[in-house]
Amino acid sequence: MTQVADSTHNTVSDRCLFRFSSRCDAMNGMKTPKTIRETLTAMPNFTVRFPDGTERRFDKDIRLSEVMTRTDASWKESPVAFKVNGTVLGPGQRLSDAAPATDVLVVEPVFFSSPEGQEIYRHSSAHILAQAVKDLFPDAKLAIGPPIEEGFYYDFDLGRPFTPEDIERIENRMREIAAARYVFERKVLSKQEAIRFFEEKGESYKVELIREMPEDETITVYEQGPFVDLCRGPHVLSTQHIEDFKLLTTAGAYWRGDERNPMLQRIYGTSFPTKQALEEHLQKLEEIKRRDHRRLGKDLDLYNVMDEIGAGLVIWHPKGALIRKLIEDFWREQHQRHGYDFVYSPHIARLDLWKRSGHLDFYRENMYAPMSIEGIDYELKPMNCPFHIMIFKSHLRSYRELPIRYAELGTVYRYERSGVLHGLLRVRGFTQDDAHLFCRPDQIEQEILKVLDLTVFTLKTFGFSEYEIYVSTRPEKSVGSTENWERATAALESALKSKNMPYQIDPGEGVFYGPKIDLKIKDVLGRSWQCTTVQVDFNLPDRFDISYIGEDGKEHQPIMIHRALMGSIERFFGVLIEHYAGAFPLWLAPVQIKVLPITDEQHAYAHEVAAALTAAGYRVETDLRSEKIGLKIRESELAKIPYMIILGKREVQGNKLSVRKRSGENIGELATTAFIEKLREEVTGVSG
C-alpha cells in the first residue's frame, strides 16, 4: 500500500538529515585533514585504555575491530561500534580517525541495545538497501537513508512506485550483498571532489546536499564493494554484520518533505542482530496491524472519515457515539465531583478575539482562513481558552471565589496538512476535554495536585496505569516574571513529587507563556501516547487584563491553568480502540450482552431474559435469526461483545442462562439474578 509520508513531522528523519550537514559532528567528531595530519605526526602510536582498565599500545592505523580482538574483555553481545574518547567510530575505522588530542585513548564498546548502536546498525542496513536498489534499478537516484525508531528507510527517485515484486527482488539482492561481506570503507573527499564524483554518477540529490555544505567541509563517503554513498558514518564493520532484516512498506515522500519537490519512493525496513529479535519485532508489527483503530473502526462500525465530508473530519457511527457518550458521561460526573463548572462556547468567533489572545500571531499556521460575516471577519476556533476567559471577565471577581474551574468538551478546528492526517489520531476537527482554572498564585500547587488526582483516576478507569511524565521549563523566548516562572515550575514539580509520580525535566521546552506537565500513557503494547497536558499561563491573563480583588482590596492578576486530561476525545478513542483491540471492557462495550436462542422454541424465554437484563440497565441484543448457534456465537465474538447467553431446551427448563465470554470461556449455568449481580460487580469494579 502506498501512502504519502511526511518527513517534516518526522523528528527522527530530521535528526538524521544532519548526517549530511555541517552542523553535527557528534557522530564521528571529524576534524579537518590538516588537524589530523598534525596530530598524527606528533603521535605515531596510541595507548588504548579498555573498559576493564587495562592498557595497551597500538599503531595509529590499526582498525578498531582488530584492537578489540586483542583484549581479554568479554561481552554478552558483540559491539556494533566503539566510542573512542567519547567519539563514536565504526569497527572498520582506525584509531587515527578519532583525531585525538592526547595519546591515551579510552575505547568503549557501543552495543545494539543502546540507541546509538541501533542507529548505526539500522543506518548500515539502509546502505545495503540502497546498494540493492542501485544494482537492480541503475537509473534510480539516491536521496537519503536515515535510521528511524525501530528501523530505517531510504528514499529513491524512481519515477514510479516500487511493486511488491520489486521489494522481494530487492530483499533477495540485499541478502546477497550481506553474504558478500563488503567492508564499509571510509573515504575523505574535498567538497569539489565530492561534487564531481556524484555528478558523474548522476546523483543530483547528493550533489544538492553537498553544495549546501561549507566550502572547507571534509566530506566522507563510504564504500561497500562497488557501491559508494555520501555519509558521515559510522557503520558496522561489514555488510555481513547485518544479519536479519525485512523490508516492510513503501510510501511516497516528497524530497525534503516539501510538496513542491519531486515525489520520491520510500522503502521502510527494519533489521536486528538476531533472527529471534527480528521475528519478535515482526510479530509486534502484526499485532499493531491487528489493533489498528482504522481497521477496527470499520469492522466494528464505530466511526468513519470520508472524502465526501473532508479529510480529517470524523463522523461517529452509533456504536462509536455510544462509547463517546459513556466517556463523556464519566468525564462530566467526575468533573462535577471535583468542583468544576461546565460551560459551552461557540465554534466561531470574531477574528479580533484571536488577535487579542495572540493566537493569530503564534498559531496562525494551524488556523483556517477567516470568513466574512456582515463585513466582520470571523474565525473557526482552534482553542477554547478565550471564551472561558470572557466568562471569567463577565463579573468582578473576589479572591474568595477562586479557584474558578471552567470545563468544556470543546470542539476545535486546526489545520493539519493532509499528509499527516491519520485515522482518529491526527484530525482536523476534534473535541478537547478542556478546562481552565483561574487561581491565586498561592493556589497553584493545590490545584495541580487535584488535577493530578483526577488524571490518575481517569486514566486508570480507562485501563492506563503506566505513564511517562515530563515537566517543561522556561524557554528562551517567554513572557512572565522570573518569580512567577520559578514559583509555577516549583509548584508543578512539588505536586508530582508529593504524588510519587516520577518525571523528567524537559529543559527550555515550556510554552512561551508558562511551564507545563505533559503525560504520555503507555498502552498494552508499550507504545507511548501524548495525552494529558497541564499548562500554567502568565500570558492570557495579561492580554485579556483579567483580575480579582484581593484580601488587600486591590486588583490582582489570577494565574491561569489550561488542562486536558484525555487530550482530544477522538485521539483518546483511537488509542482506546488499539489498547483494547476493540474488545472494550464491559462498561464501555456498545453491546454488552448478546442473547442467542438455539432454536425458535427458546424465543419467548430469550425475550424474557433480554427484558430482565435491559431493565437492570444493560445493553442487550437478541439474535432471533434461524441460523446455526455456532455461526451466531462466531459473529458475536467477532463483534467483541463481552457476554453471550446461549439458550436451549435445558436452560428453559431449568430457568437458567448458559453464559459464554467473548474469549470463548464458558462461565456455565447461572440464574438471571446471579448473572446480573456478576455484571454489576464487574462494572463497578472498573468505573467506580
Name the E strands within 174-243. 185-189, 219-224, 227-230
- Residue (of 305, 309, 286, 308) closest to 294 by Cα position: 305
Bridge partner residues of 500 (DSSP): none
For the purposes of burial, counting CB atoms within 10 Å of the CB of 520, is it exposed (0-12), middle (13-18) or buried (19 or more)? middle
Measured from the Cβ of residue 187, the count of other Cβ atoms closer than 10 Å reads 13
| Alpha helices, DSSP H, located in 180-311 | 191-200, 204-211, 275-291, 293-299
Q: How far is the CB of 377 from Zn ion (least distance, A)?
A: 22
Q: How far is the CB of 563 from Zn ion (least distance, A)?
A: 8
* Three-state secondary structure string covering 91-123: CCCEHHHHCCCCCEEEEEEECCCCHHHHHHHHH
Pairing of strands 666-670, 657-661: antiparallel
Q: How far is the CB of 535 from Zn ion (least distance, A)?
A: 7
Nearest-angstrom CA–CA distance, 517 and 506: 10
Nearest-angstrom CA–CA distance, 494 and 471: 11
Instruction: Retrieve residue 222's grid coordinates.
Output: 563510504
User: Is 434 considered catalytic here?
Assistant: yes
Q: Cβ(90)–Cβ(186) under 8 Å?
A: yes
> Which one of the listed residues 516, 632, 656, 660 is annotated catalytic?
516
> Which one of the listed residues 359, 562, 640, 662 is annotated catalytic?
562
| Nearer residue to Zn ion within complex by CB, 266 or 562 | 562
Bridge partner residues of 72 (DSSP): none
Q: How far is CA 630 from CA 119, 542, 626, 635, in A?
A: 50, 66, 12, 9
Q: How far is the CB of 317 from Zn ion (least distance, A)?
A: 30
Nearest-angstrom CA–CA distance, 660 and 633: 9
| Nearer residue to Zn ion within complex by CB, 265 or 384 | 384
User: Is 562 considered catalytic here?
Assistant: yes
> Which one of the listed residues 118, 432, 592, 602 is annotated catalytic?
432
User: Is 324 considered catalytic here?
Assistant: no
The CA-to-CA distance between both ends of the chain, in Å, stands at 44
| Nearer residue to Zn ion within complex by CB, 207 or 633 | 207
User: Is 537 considered catalytic here?
Assistant: no
Calculate helix-pair angle for 204-211, 191-200, nearest 10 degrees.
170
| Nearer residue to Zn ion within complex by CB, 117 or 642 | 117
Q: How far is the CB of 244 from Zn ion (least distance, A)?
A: 19
Write the CB contacts of 233 (distance below 8 Å, at least 6 apart in sequence): 27, 28, 90, 93, 184, 186, 220, 222
Please tell me the chain's helix, strand, coil percentages from 3-state DSSP, rounded to the nearest 5. Answer: 40, 25, 35
Question: Binding residues for Zn ion, per CB under 5 A?
Answer: 231, 385, 562
Q: Cβ(155)–Cβ(264) under 8 Å?
A: yes
Q: How far is the CB of 439 from Zn ion (least distance, A)?
A: 14
> Which one of the listed residues 127, 388, 436, 571 is annotated catalytic?
436
| Nearer residue to Zn ion within complex by CB, 381 or 579 | 381
- Residue (of 160, 80, 72, 85) closest to 121 by Cα position: 80
> Which one of the listed residues 63, 266, 414, 662 is annotated catalytic?
414
| Nearer residue to Zn ion within complex by CB, 185 or 509 | 185
CA 505: distance to chain centroid? 19
- Residue (of 205, 190, 24, 27) closest to 130 by Cα position: 205
Q: How far is the CB of 184 from Zn ion (least distance, A)?
A: 8
Q: How far is the CB of 564 from Zn ion (least distance, A)?
A: 8
| Nearer residue to Zn ion within complex by CB, 134 or 562 | 562
Nearest-angstrom CA–CA distance, 660 and 644: 5
Instruction: Retrieve residue 556's grid coordinates.
Output: 490582582
Nearest-angstrom CA–CA distance, 54 and 219: 35
> Which one of the listed residues 231, 385, 439, 531 is annotated catalytic?
385
Collapsing DSSP to helix, strand or coil, 505 comes out as strand
Nearest-angstrom CA–CA distance, 436 and 535: 10
| Nearer residue to Zn ion within complex by CB, 562 or 632 | 562
> Which one of the listed residues 244, 292, 433, 434 is annotated catalytic?
434
| Nearer residue to Zn ion within complex by CB, 231 or 247 | 231
Instruction: Retrieve residue 64's grid coordinates.
Output: 578498531
Supply the DSSP string of 291-355, one letter for each residue.
H-HHHHHHHTT-EEE-TTT-TT-EEE-HHHHHHHHHHHHHHHHHHHHTTPEE----SEEEHHHHH
User: Is 385 considered catalytic here?
Assistant: yes
| Nearer residue to Zn ion within complex by CB, 222 or 643 | 222
| Nearer residue to Zn ion within complex by CB, 414 or 562 | 562
Q: How far is the CB of 417 from Zn ion (least distance, A)?
A: 23
- Residue (of 557, 576, 346) closest to 438 by Cα position: 557
Look at the block and give the residue holding cell 476535554: 433
- Residue (of 596, 656, 655) closest to 630 by Cα position: 596
Q: How far is the CB of 550 from Zn ion (least distance, A)?
A: 24
| Nearer residue to Zn ion within complex by CB, 67 or 81 | 81
Q: How far is the CB of 123 from Zn ion (least distance, A)?
A: 5
Q: How far is the CB of 537 from Zn ion (least distance, A)?
A: 7
User: Is 516 considered catalytic here?
Assistant: yes
Q: How far is the CB of 320 from Zn ion (least distance, A)?
A: 26
Nearest-angstrom CA–CA distance, 124 and 88: 14
Which residues belong to the active site? 385, 414, 432, 434, 436, 516, 562
